[in-house]
Structure 1
């Protein structure tokens, strides 16, 4: 908190210095006494020029704040799905520390300034989110902790720090049961021992678009802002996340669609300013065959139950989705997953199967 306050004070000081310099410049250019004092001229210049920049910055800050809040929510909901289903993710499970980290260079253009002003990011990587239930969460790692060192190795700062840090942390995580981290917190360094967590190694992203859809490319899952708003509850968002995690586990992105096409859509929509013209028409994404869609429904419902979410509203959620956004709505979820009636029958049978195992206290293994 002290560190963040110091940064805010620095920005305030810079603003005051800029205003003072502008005042001096305007006074210097007065070659002879004028009827009006210099101060109103300064006020007029200040009131006319900065608002354009301020409005732009305000928009950037607002957009960035919304995306960060939605990303935090997705990460929190995804935590139990990724950790509790590591055995179901087969070869896609990895040893993870359970946190993401960013610095101001994780953003581009005016969003670099927004990241500094809104998130207090600088050159050093800071913890952006902590996966619920992970080793990072159990060790007390906090959002905003600066990454200083891992196992005695100094962690990089500045541009490309994310990629460079991954190159250091990856081998360490694969060879350790826990990792000794030094983090900067409240103006001083603090040592943490972070246990390694086995989890499904799929990246979870928020898509900066209002279309009601989600995407998976074999390695990532992305849910649009529109889908989050439509689903509304954590439980419903978990249904969508689990469905796309299941598609990845079952290899459907590689076997039925162009993983490159879906990957390009994800790359575009995770940006702060996506090119929405890519979503014109069908966006090049082919409908999922009903047998594969149903297979993903079957696996995903087990994942949802194992993560501790209720299955009671799964049928109603997917039915509501198809009713409000049918297959005729391009770039909507049902357009890419049109076999609604077939899916709903599988969903009903699967829920009955899972509840039967729960009642008999049998392992929830699909």
Structure 2
């Protein structure tokens, strides 16, 4: 559950909820060497130890879920500073956030409930991610904490816990500076007054495809698993996330009349097993005009710099991406953002301006 004022709960039962980090309990076991030949208790003077039991086999569902959530964890970790440090740039998209996510085993489709259970989730909402720099992080909320009460009202449990808790939280974020949260940790309860955090309220989604692509639909940002494997650093991943945040902030999906199309693409790709047929072409997504793309690049670089990431290598990254995945790859990034040469000039100018402001100690704002 993404604990924001406006959360999207539709499809929780239909889709595997890979958009939120999950706490994993991992263990490994080694086995004592077996005896051979005539070596035995009598010859060694030591008792023969029974082999340790082998670790339980990892099911395909567990492996698949763990792999996807590992990508999601990294995506959220990189996105956190972008969201928390750019409320001033997100215009009408800034909201008060609690700054943590929570899930139950029922957050997944029936196929993955057993896998989620084996990895530590139950029918009680458990904190599965804390937004770096948020009020929740500052008061010490941790992964694995169980949600017991909010403003002294018991937190729902069971299959509908996420939706019911979202309805409980919705009215609380207006007119408050903090929210009282009771959690269970190590068998005992404790109460935290969680300050609300003003941040960009964009959903950050993982797309389950190896296509090297990213999308924005006005309220969400989707980065594909393929894109996450393509980037070489957190700085590069921050460029990609911020570029889609900038498109949303500048209302480009609406201006392109692509909101419904992009929402449909994202809804498909957040599924654990998306329909790959539309991805054989452009999925109905029109390329962005070069002026809109350059404007998003400029705003994105300011977001990246304000979040503490480097902007020095931005133009080199986009050139590398366009070279390896040119516009002829219809389901690739450059097909939607084809004006690479035009954009590079705008990127280099923005980088120069940002570095000058950083050097002079000026506020980094466009």
TM-score by length of 2: 0.83
1:128 is the counterpart of 2:117:
no
Q: Counterpart in 2 of 1:96?
A: 97
Does the Cα contact within 8 Å between 1:325 and 1:332 map onto a contact in 2?
yes
Q: Counterpart in 1 of 2:112?
A: 111
Aligned residues: 315
Q: Counterpart in 2 of 1:274?
A: 274
Q: C-alpha displacement at 1:260, in angstroms?
A: 1.4
- The structure, 1 or 2, with the larger RCO (C-alpha pairs under 8 Å, 6+ apart) is 2
Q: Counterpart in 2 of 1:229?
A: 229
Residues 10-29 of structure 1 aligned to structure 2 (within 5 Å)? none
Structure 1 residue matching 2:174: 3-state secondary structure: helix
Q: C-alpha displacement at 1:87, in angstroms?
A: 0.7
Q: C-alpha displacement at 1:170, in angstroms?
A: 2.1
The 2-side partners of 1:330 and 1:124 are apart by 43
Structure 2 residue matching 1:159: 3-state secondary structure: coil
Q: C-alpha displacement at 1:208, in angstroms?
A: 1.0
Structure 1 residue matching 2:222: 3-state secondary structure: strand
Q: Deviations over 1:275-302 (max 9, x none)?
A: 2223121111110111000000010000
Structure 1 residue matching 2:211: 3-state secondary structure: coil
1:80 is the counterpart of 2:81:
yes
The 1-side partners of 2:135 and 2:242 are apart by 22
Q: C-alpha displacement at 1:175, in angstroms?
A: 2.6
Q: Deviations over 1:302-328 (max 9, x none)?
A: 011111101111011000000000001
The 1-side partners of 2:312 and 2:348 are apart by 10
The 2-side partners of 1:122 and 1:220 are apart by 28
The 2-side partners of 1:255 and 1:159 are apart by 39
Q: Counterpart in 2 of 1:186?
A: 186
TM-score by length of 1: 0.83
Q: Counterpart in 1 of 2:312?
A: 312
Q: C-alpha displacement at 1:329, in angstroms?
A: 0.8
Q: Counterpart in 2 of 1:31?
A: none
Q: Report which stretch shifted further, 180-189 or 292-301.
A: 180-189
Q: C-alpha displacement at 1:358, in angstroms?
A: 1.6
Structure 2 residue matching 1:175: 3-state secondary structure: coil
The 2-side partners of 1:160 and 1:264 are apart by 25
The 1-side partners of 2:147 and 2:253 are apart by 35
CA root-mean-square deviation: 1.8
Q: Deviations over 1:72-100 (max 9, x none)?
A: 11111111111111011111100001011
Does the Cα contact within 8 Å between 1:207 and 1:223 map onto a contact in 2?
yes
Residues 1-366 of structure 1 aligned to structure 2 (within 5 Å)? 58-118=59-119, 120-366=120-366
Q: Counterpart in 1 of 2:35?
A: none
The 1-side partners of 2:162 and 2:232 are apart by 32
What are the ranges of 5 or more consecutive residues in structure 2 without an aligned counterpart? 1-22, 27-55
The 1-side partners of 2:236 and 2:273 are apart by 27
The 2-side partners of 1:58 and 1:232 are apart by 30
Measured at CA, do residues 278 and 184 of structure 1 come closer, stay the same or move farther in structure 2, by a change above 3 Å? Answer: farther
The 1-side partners of 2:138 and 2:67 are apart by 27
Q: Counterpart in 1 of 2:9?
A: none
Does the Cα contact within 8 Å between 1:63 and 1:272 map onto a contact in 2?
no
The 2-side partners of 1:88 and 1:206 are apart by 23
Q: Deviations over 1:30-49 (max 9, x none)?
A: xxxxxxxxxxxxxxxxxxxx
The 2-side partners of 1:228 and 1:270 are apart by 15
The 2-side partners of 1:159 and 1:265 are apart by 27
Does the Cα contact within 8 Å between 1:257 and 1:285 map onto a contact in 2?
no
Q: Counterpart in 1 of 2:10?
A: none
The 2-side partners of 1:277 and 1:117 are apart by 33
The 1-side partners of 2:144 and 2:207 are apart by 23
Q: C-alpha displacement at 1:177, in angstroms?
A: 0.7
